[in-house]
Structure 1
Amino acid sequence: MSLLKDIFGRKKKKLTCSICGNKIENDFKTKYLKINGCLELATVHYECDKKLNNLEKSIKGE
């Protein structure tokens, strides 16, 4: 619920992408990211998500 308040309720707070750190406007998705062994629900740009998926695939060797 807090995420929805951040997106729709608070005008002063700027949402930022968890990967690149840039401001999120309207092209984003939420995704669980494992950071330091903990899962975090993060907001990311679609482009950053694609880059992350490609990086994960290249690490796995697919």
Structure 2
Amino acid sequence: MIDPIFSAEVKVTGLTIVQFKLVAYKLITRHSHGVVPPVVEYSRTENGRQFAQQAVGLVDWIE
């Protein structure tokens, strides 16, 4: 049986990895406010917006 607490930690870690990859690919930007508790904002870049439009077009074509 999977421990639900451990499972949630794995998902958060996986999400963090994906976020850092999206920043590295310049699809989103990350802004840390440097306060406690941590406040971090993410926003899409122009590349991210273009990628999203193309992804939607691909999904529409597949359907």
* Same fold, TM-score > 0.5, yes or no: no
Larger fraction in helix: 2
Could you state the TM-score of these two structures normalised by the residue count of structure 1? 0.33
Which structure features the higher share of strand residues? 1
